[in-house]
Amino acid sequence: MRKPWVVGVLAGLLLLGACGDPSSGPESAPPPVPSAPKASSTTHQRPAATPEAETDTEAEPNTGAGTGTKAPAQHARPTVLYLGDSLAMENQKVLGGLMRDELKARYTSAPYSGTTLCDYLEGTGEDSLVPSKDKAAALVRTLRPDFVVLQFWGNAWDYTPCMDGIAYDTARDKYFARYTADARRLTDQIAGAAGGDRPKVVWVLQGPDPMTPDRVRRVNAIYERQAAASGDMLADAGKAVSPASARYTWSQYLPCTAYEREHTAYCTQPSSGRTALHIDDDYLHFCLVPTTSTPKPCPVRSPGILRITRAITRAVAAQLD
């Protein structure tokens, strides 16, 4: 009875490590994203080429003067930068649609699968899965965003070179100390690149992990402490894909929300009133088709992705009210 679940866990460990060109679009156009209410196998490989970040062609640098963290004016059209790992990779098209439709945002995404916080730090050079032009600070200097959304599951094993061999299973204290230090460094580099008007950093809290539940809890706590220390903000997207009474308990299925019942494509098992968050052999990702050897945005409607991206959009929207 337990064999399929174990196989899925092992597959998930491989899936997170895949890396590739984040500019690679799905084989067909992404599914339409309904408006939110107001408010397998992969290969382990480094990116073969420097990708082009997905961005709005009309995006313009923000030239507002002032000091400290930006406080966008009411009804302002925000500029949003989205960075992260394979979860951000699969989310990026849906989040972009929501940001543009709901917030009229200028939106740029540059996720790389298999990455950690250190990959987006300047100064990591060849020991990074992210090229220099897509480092967080480099993109901040170019785009002058109002918000930098960071979504990192917290790769727990020795895959990305910039972690210097530190893995959760073999060096837990070093792992958490390194994530804490990298969260602070990344925040500082973003602030330094922005100059006087720094963007709000949005730390996306992660959902449950069936293999290392305490690890995800502690990684989220690192993000919470960093946001509090630097005056930034949180988007608890992980709560949206957790049972209502058990924030860190993993579940493949959850009850359909009222929104999902109204939009039946997102309530995958209407007869039982529940919806799928994960496919059977991937406990980590939320795209309801297997990931591919060349990572791409999710090409199908997936309730977990919509839940996560709506939570991020609501968090940013709350700052604009």
Q: Kindly report, residue by residue over 239-289, the tens digit of the pLDDT.
A: 999 999 999 999 999 999 999 999 999 999 999 999 999 999 999 999 999
Residues in Cβ contact with 115 at an 8 Å cutoff, skipping those fewer than 6 apart? 19, 84, 85, 129, 130, 152, 155, 160
Percent of the chain residues past pLDDT 70, beyond the cut: 76
Q: Name residue, tokens 């290969």.
A: 43
What are 59-93's pLDDT values in tens digits?
Answer: 333 323 332 444 444 457 999 999 999 999 999 99
Residue 184 bridge partners (DSSP)? none
pLDDT of residue 293: 87
Range among 10-14, 52-56, 102-106 rated most confident? 102-106
Domain ranges of the chain: 12-21+76-320
- Residue 240 tokens read as 């949206």
Q: Could you tell me the pTM of the whole model?
A: 0.81
| Phi then psi dihedrals of residue 163, to 5 deg | -80, -5
pLDDT of residue 16: 45
pLDDT of residue 146: 97
**CATH topology classification for 12-21+76-320:** Rossmann fold (3.40.50)
